[in-house]
Amino acid sequence: MNNRRLWLLLLFTVLLVGGTYLFRGATVNGMALPLVESVLGVPEPTVPDVMPPDQQIVFWTNRLSPDTKDYITLTHLGRAYLMQARVTGDADAYARAEEALQRALSLNERYAPARSLLGSVYIGNHAFAKALAGAQEALRADPTNLQALAVSGDSALELGQYSEAETAFRALLDAAPGGPAYSRMARLTWLLGRPDEAIEWMRRAADETLALDIGGEELAWYRFQLGELYFNTGDLRAAHKWYDEAGQALPDYYLAQSGLGKVAAARGHRQEAIDIYEALVARMPLPGFVAYLGDLYTLEGNTAAAQEQYDTVGFIRELEERQQVLYNRQMAVFFANHNMNIDLALEYAQKELDARQDIYAYDTLAWALYRHGRYDEARAASDKSLALGTHDALLHYHAGMIAAALGDKTRAAAELQLALQFNPNFDLIQAAVARKTLAGLPD
């Protein structure tokens, strides 16, 4: 393995996306970025303690003896590792958090804070069913446990149990109105096809955070998510405004930069977008960033540079299995989008559906099946992805392409028009395919 390849693999390991809780809302090329996989999926970034996570880890570790019985300190240590995992996306930090919390529970199995935090670790590792079971157990012991309530809603959402998720989120909203509850309602209402309401919930989260004089990462996060919502409704002006304000709240915020790059590309300012994404990839070569840069190079006709980026994304297959599972959805979408390694695309998509049964898992499977030419199966999966009425251009684009392949020109036209109506810039390459396919349909 050459040095560059080894370096990239090491960085992927360090920066590995925690999938659900690091950034599930924003996507680039359908690939989740660190800190969303659909729109707005992350629970809130916690307000940082006085010490950053790595210093907290040292502090709490130094308080432990090899034969410790101190389950409270172990819980604090697990929380510090969880915070580190959320900041870096490091799968090993999730593993260390789980180890510390399991040790705490072995000393006091009824200690609710440890059990609730363990649920967040399970979500970060995409063990959604385990997270839900643990949260439900914690709630039986203490129905007022807000962390467990949040985890139960988050995990239910990932498992496609939307009514259960809504019940949990509304209970959280009643018990603790504020940014974490508002942003969860934003995601839920987005999924339920109410984008204006979703924007209003997220605006409330950002406004309250500012009113409470909370800045930094938390304020930047809410503003960034507003940018994502506006981008996904096709409003580039508002998206740019909120991405820019996210960067003002947290200077050099890489998520804000990724959003500004998307807006630049959507406006046709490709060199500006390339400059932004080259800087992002040099800083943290996450698969979503790398793939997006590859597509920018493709549009500029620089096929060699594009292929280098696509090959880099493929390196993720060489990560250990525990880390690969966090990328099932992203890799399936990447391979299907670029019509390469379609057997692997389907394999990843099927694994993703095994882990969670939300609408995006069905959409991912539909897109992989489409690339395999299994159009009837693809339509069945796509129909499930549309069940909530979500205003997501990608869902309708995939449905339209599947309908076109089946010869259903009426539905193909309707779905592709809807995709472009929701967001004409939903993907650098696929949006152009949608327009071309729509133009080629008979009247």
According to the model, what pLDDT value does residue 319 have? Answer: 62
- Whether 186 is in a domain gets the answer no
According to the model, what pLDDT value does residue 86 have? Answer: 67
- Whether 390 is in a domain gets the answer yes
- Whether 250 is in a domain gets the answer no
- Using DSSP, state whether 28 is helix, strand or coil: strand
- Whether 341 is in a domain gets the answer yes
Q: HEC string of 129-187?
A: HHHHHHHHHHHHHCCCCHHHHHHHHHHHHHCCCHHHHHHHHHHHHHHCCCHHHHHHHHH
Instruction: Spell out the residues 6+ positions from residue 37 whose beta carbon is closer than 8 angstroms to its own.
Output: 19, 20, 24, 25, 27, 329, 330, 360
- Whether 4 is in a domain gets the answer no
Tell me the residue type at 321: E
- Using the Cα atoms of residue 213, residue 217, residue 220 and residue 226 in order, give the sign of their dihedral: negative
- Whether 309 is in a domain gets the answer no
The full DSSP string for 253-302 is -HHHHHHHHHHHHHTT-HHHHHHHHHHHHHH---HHHHHHHHHHHHHTT-
Residue 30 Rama label (left phi>0; alpha psi -120 to 50; beta)? left
| Range list of H helices, 1-127 | 3-14, 53-62, 71-88, 91-107, 112-124
pTM: 0.84
Residue 357 sits in a domain whose CATH number is 1.25.40.10
187, 221, 178, 202 alpha-carbon torsion, rounded to 10°: -40
Tell me the residue type at 198: A
According to the model, what pLDDT value does residue 209 have? Answer: 82
- Whether 249 is in a domain gets the answer no
pLDDT along the chain (443 residues), means of 10: 41 33 39 33 39 84 89 91 72 87 91 84 87 88 86 94 96 91 94 96 90 75 94 97 92 91 97 96 85 96 95 74 71 93 94 92 98 98 97 97 97 97 95 96 82
According to the model, what pLDDT value does residue 326 have? Answer: 72
Of the candidates 277, 283, 319, which has an alpha carbon nearest to the alpha carbon of residue 298? Answer: 277
Q: Which domain holds residue 385?
A: 320-443
Tell me the residue type at 43: P
Count of domains for the chain: 1
According to the model, what pLDDT value does residue 139 have? Answer: 87
According to the model, what pLDDT value does residue 90 have? Answer: 67
According to the model, what pLDDT value does residue 212 have? Answer: 74
- Whether 47 is in a domain gets the answer no
